[in-house]
Amino acid sequence: MSDSQSQQLMEAARRVIPGGVNSPVRAFRAVGGEPVFIERAAGSKIYGADGTQYIDYVGSWGPAILGHADPDVVRAVTEAAASGLSFGAPTAREVDFAQAVLDRYPSMDMMRCVSSGTEATMSALRAARGHTGRAVIVKFDGAYHGHADALLVQAGSGAATFGNPDSAGVPASMVEHTATLAYNDTAALEALFKARGSDIAAVIVEPVSGNMGCIAPEPGFLKAIIDLCEQAGAVSIFDEVMTGCRLARGGAQELYALRPHMTCLGKVVGGGMPLAVYGGQREIMSKIAPLGPIYQAGTLSGNPVATAAGLATLAKLDEAVYAKLERAGARLEAGLNKAIADAGVTAVVQRVGAMLTLFFSAAPVKNWVDSQASDKEKFGRWFGGLLKRGIYWPPSGFEAAFISAAHTDDDIDRTIDAAAESLRELS
C-alpha cells in the first residue's frame, strides 16, 4: 500500500516523530499498511515519494478547494513572502481579508484571525463563556472541534478512528462542564435545555458533520440549536472549519439559510496556509481583548503570507466554481451508487456538495452510533484497493472525502472505475 521510498521515510520518521506522523489519522492505522509520503501536488493530483501519481480526495483535509498549487494562490503567496514572512503588527491585508470573510458571512459583525481550527473553536467557546458568564458547553457525539481539552469528549476524527474518544492527559475537571448529545437528536437537546438551560454557555456543532463521515443535519435540527440558545441566552456556534466556503460561498449557514451567534472557519479560507477565523455578533466580539476582558492572542495571527493565500482563494470562489463542484459531486455519488449495486455490496453514499463518504452500512448514517456500526474492516480493504489503483481516499471511514474544482470528469470516471473494481473484490 505504499512505495519503497515511503517505507524508508516512515522508518526514519518513527525515530523522531510520535508514530512517524504529525497528526494521527495520517498513520493509516485505521486502514492498515504504511502511509504514502507526498513529494508534491498539482491540481487534482498528488505524487508519492517514488513519483507515483494519485487522484486526491483528501485535499489537505479540505483546504484545496481549487486543487493543489493553484497558480493564482501560489503567485499571491510568493509575492507576499518576498515582502516579509511575519511582522507581529497590523497589516492592510488583514483588513481586506476580514472584509472578504464578513461579506460572505452576514451572521458575523466582527471576526479575528487565528492560526488553526483548534484555536478558532477554543477561542469561540471562551468568548461564549465570557459573554454569558456560564460554564456549560454542549457538543455532539462524534464531532471533532480540535484538540482543546474541554472538547476531547466523545471526539470524532483521528481519536474516533482509534476507538478511544477520550484522550489521556485531560483531567476530569477540564470536561466536567462539557455535555454531549447525539447528533441530530433535537428532542434530547430540548430536554437538556429544559433541565439546564440557565447553565449553558454555548452549543457548538458541525452543521454538516465531516469528522464521523459526511452526515447531513436532519430538518429542523440546526434551527433548533439557534432557537434554543436564543431563548436561554446561550450562544450557538457553527464550527464551519470544514464546511466554510466549501458547501456554498457562505458555507453551511448559507446553504441552510441560518444565522448562528458565532462562527468558526478554517481550511478553505486559509487557502492551504495556517489560518482560521472566529467571529460573531458585535456584542460578543466587543468583549474580546483589547476591547473587553476576554483574552486571546497569537504571534502569527493574521500572518501576511497566510492572508494572501486566503484572499487569493476566496477571490476565485464564484458561483461557477460551486456549480462545478456540485456537478462533480453528483457524478461521483451516482457512479459510486451504481458500483455498489453492481457489486452487490452493502454500503451507502452520503454527500453534501463537495463532501462525500462511502459507509459500509446497511442504512443511512445519522449519528455517531450509526457511524461506528459501519464495517471498518471492509472499508480498510476497499481503501487499499483504491490506493493501489491510484486513488488517494481519506484513510479513515470516519472522514469526508473532498472534491476540488480541479477534478475533471475523467478524474471522476477513473475514480468510479477503481471504486467498482475494489468493491467487486469485497463481494
Give the tens place of pLDDT for each residue, 167-178.
Answer: 788 777 778 889
Q: Name the one residue in this structure whose C-alpha cell is 463563556.
A: 129
Whole-angstrom distance, CA of residue 328 vs CA of residue 219: 25
Flag whether pLDDT at 27 surpasses 50. yes
User: What was the pLDDT predicted at 3?
Assistant: 59
Flag whether pLDDT at 118 surpasses 60. yes
Return the DSSP state at 106: T
User: If pLDDT is split at 50, 70 and 90, which confidence band does 161 have?
Assistant: very low
User: If pLDDT is split at 50, 70 and 90, which confidence band does 267 have?
Assistant: very high
Flag whether pLDDT at 160 surpasses 60. no
Which SS3 state, helix, strand or coil, does residue 78 take? Answer: helix
What is the distance between the terminal CA atoms of the chain, rounded to a whole angstrom? 21
267 flagged as catalytic:
yes
DSSP-derived pairing of the beta strands 53-56 and 391-392 = parallel
Q: Do 280 and 226 touch, CB atoms closer than 8 A? A: no
* Mean pLDDT across 77-103: 97
105 flagged as catalytic:
no
User: If pLDDT is split at 50, 70 and 90, which confidence band does 154 have?
Assistant: low
Report the share of the chain in percent with pLDDT over 70.
Answer: 96
Whole-angstrom distance, CA of residue 110 vs CA of residue 120: 14
- pTM score: 0.94
Q: Do 220 and 247 touch, CB atoms closer than 8 A? A: no
Flag whether pLDDT at 225 surpasses 70. yes
Q: Name the one residue in this structure whose C-alpha cell is 501576511.
A: 304
Q: Name the one residue in this structure whose C-alpha cell is 468583549.
A: 287
Flag whether pLDDT at 197 surpasses 50. yes
Q: Which of 45, 139, 267, 366 is catalytic?
A: 267
Flag whether pLDDT at 15 surpasses 50. yes
The crossing angle, in degrees rounded to 10, of helices 221-232 and 186-196 is 10
Grid cell digits, residue 379: 472499508
Work out the number of other CB atoms within 10 angstroms of the CB of residue 166.
Answer: 12
Q: With respect to CATH, is domain 71-316 assigned 3.40.50.1820?
A: no
Q: Which of 144, 256, 278, 322 is catalytic?
A: 144
Is cis: bond before 395, omega within 30 of 0? Answer: no
Spell out the residues 6+ positions from residue 283 whose beta carbon is closer than 8 angstroms to its own. Answer: 131
What element of type H or E holds 139?
strand 136-140
Whole-angstrom distance, CA of residue 236 vs CA of residue 128: 9
Whole-angstrom distance, CA of residue 106 vs CA of residue 111: 11
pLDDT tens digits, one per residue of 350-390: 999 999 999 999 999 999 999 999 999 999 999 999 999 99
Phi, psi of 209 (to 5 degrees): -65, 140
Return the DSSP state at 116: S
Give the CA distances from residue 350 to residues 155, 248, 403, in Å, rounded to whole numbers and listed in that order.
21, 17, 14
376 flagged as catalytic:
no
Buried b (16+ CB within 10 A) or exposed e, 252-268: bbbbbebbbbbbbbbbb
Instruction: Please indicate whether residue 101 or residue 29 has the higher confidence score (pLDDT).
Output: 101
User: What was the pLDDT predicted at 33?
Assistant: 87
User: What was the pLDDT predicted at 17?
Assistant: 95
User: What was the pLDDT predicted at 166?
Assistant: 66
Largest Cα separation within the chain, whole Å, is: 62
Report the share of the chain in percent with pLDDT over 90.
Answer: 88
